[in-house]
Amino acid sequence: DAGVIQSPRHEVTEMGQEVTLRCKPISGHNSLFWYRQTMMRGLELLIYFNNNVPIDDSGMPEDRFSAKMPNASFSTLKIQPSEPRDSAVYFCASSLPQGAGQPQHFGDGTRLSIL
Amino acid sequence: AQTVTQSQPEMSVQEAETVTLSCTYDTSESDYYLFWYKQPPSRQMILVIRQEAYKQQNATENRFSVNFQKAAKSFSLKISDSQLGDAAMYFCASSRAGSYQLTFGKGTKLSVIP
């Protein structure tokens, strides 16, 4: 079975540019999560979708960050304009309906470098 | 709020030996779930093992097993017959029943010595 698919795997861009990260969750999973991982702060939950609806975006750092889930098989995380402090590994994860300790399955992550 | 503490930033183990990674957590919930995730240098986060707090039996997955001590709020991971491919960061995590929030520890970096 295909796991969570993220693209691109690496992204290097100059500050001020728009960055779009993509995620395809596991088929049948209705919960989707975006995380950011840095050495200083570890893994941080940015946003959580349930059935394509954003439920909790309290972790989104600021207005420069936005996330969408137009359908059950696709989500994007956009940063505009990007800044060097946005450099991190961004993970997408999906799971079956929450409520019974369903584990989250992670993609391979996107390593983002903002110069 | 839940907290997860991994007190060992780094550990090493000789190939074929056994190693135990520590994890303690704090929660006021009676129903919750605990997880261990592995992150190798390839950076993918891989689910290793899952434990349901209401089950007393310790979860096992092949060479991986946990020692779940509910009263002590301890959830350690034992890796038997360590292999070079076990070298990775290991994250302990918890979530309360009915919640999507997954609380992670800071991680333990495991090195396997040939």
| B107 in contact with A, Cβ within 8 Å | yes
What is the rounded distance in angstroms from the CA atom of residue B21 to the CA atom of residue B25? 14
Across chain B, what does the average pLDDT equal? 93
Task: Tell me the average pLDDT across A22-38.
Answer: 95
pLDDT (0 to 100) of residue B21: 98
In eight-state DSSP terms, residue A63 is T
pLDDT (0 to 100) of residue B108: 97
Phi then psi for residue A86, to 5 deg, are: -85, -5
* Burial class of B101 by CB neighbour count within 10 A (0 to 12, 13 to 18, 19+): middle
Task: Tell me the average pLDDT across B88-114.
Answer: 92
Place of tokens 């960061």: B89
At B48, list the tokens.
Answer: 């290793």
Whether B8 and B21 have beta carbons less than 8 Å apart is answered as yes
Across chain A, what does the average pLDDT equal? 93
Place of tokens 């959580």: A48
In eight-state DSSP terms, residue B63 is T
Lowest mean pLDDT among B48-52, B53-57, B65-69, B70-74: B53-57
Task: Tell me the average pLDDT across B101-110.
Answer: 93
Q: Kindly report the nearest CA distance between residue B8 and chain A, in angstroms.
A: 15
Q: Which of B102, B103, B106, B109 should be substituted to probe chain A, the one whose Cβ sees the most A Cβ atoms within 10 Å?
A: B102
What is the rounded distance in angstroms from the CA atom of residue A46 to the CA atom of residue A57? 6
Task: Indicate if the pLDDT at residue A84 is higher than 80.
Answer: yes
Task: pLDDT band for B113, please (50, 70, 90 cuts).
Answer: very high
Residues in A touching B98 (Cβ below 8 Å): 98-99
Whether B34 and B94 have beta carbons less than 8 Å apart is answered as yes
Residue B4, Cβ neighbours under 10 Å: how many?
A: 22
What is the rounded distance in angstroms from the CA atom of residue A76 to the CA atom of residue A22? 5
Residue B104, Cβ neighbours under 10 Å: how many?
A: 20
pLDDT 10s digits, B16-61: 999 999 999 998 888 899 999 999 998 889 999 999 998 889 999 9
pLDDT 10s digits, A40-81: 888 999 999 999 999 999 999 889 999 999 999 999 999 999
